Amino acid sequence: MLIRITSLTSHYVYKVNTYTVLRGAAADNLLERRFFMSERDNKLNIIEQFKILIKSIDKYDRHYYYLDLKNKKKPALIVMQLSHTGNGYINGSYVNTSAYKTTKAGDINIKNLTDAEIIQLIDEAIHNLT
């Protein structure tokens, strides 16, 4: 049995027993957020395979990964600003950036990179620093 709870210009929310069914733009928004979360989680799982990296999270829930070097005072920033959308950057100072589109600062956007490319870039950065 479907009971219509609310209708806001083609946004419908139905209560089916204890399940909520969304229709229209609200459903698209929910699916989009779930896609972004799974994309970020996938990238987090890839990056966290590198046990040598130190993880840091800022107040905006952006993830940063550092490599602590014994011969330097400050740790080297490898992956920065990985947000809930799956967007983030790999520091281009430590890798060969000729095959990738970079920002003005020289960082590589990982939004559209494959898993293998992310692994390769992080591995290259770690290898170049150690």
* pLDDT digit string, tens, across residues 10-46: 444 444 444 445 455 555 555 554 444 478 888 888 8
* pLDDT digit string, tens, across residues 108-130: 998 888 889 999 999 999 898 88
Residues in the chain: 130
Q: Where are the domains of the chain?
A: 36-129
- Taking the chain, what is the end-to-end CA distance rounded to the nearest angstrom? 63
Give the Å distances, CA to CA, from 108 to 17, 86, 88, 98, 121: 47, 13, 8, 10, 9
Distance, in Å, from the CA atom of 107 to the CA atom of 28, rounded to the nearest integer, reads 31
For tokens 């011969």, name the residue: 71
CA angle (98 as vertex; 108, 78 as ends), nearest 5: 35
pTM reported for the whole predicted model: 0.67
* pLDDT digit string, tens, across residues 59-103: 988 899 998 888 888 888 989 999 888 889 998 888 888 888 888
CA angle (108 as vertex; 103, 110 as ends), nearest 5: 125
Q: What's the burial of 90, exposed, middle or buried (CB within 10 Å: 0-12/13-18/19+)? A: buried
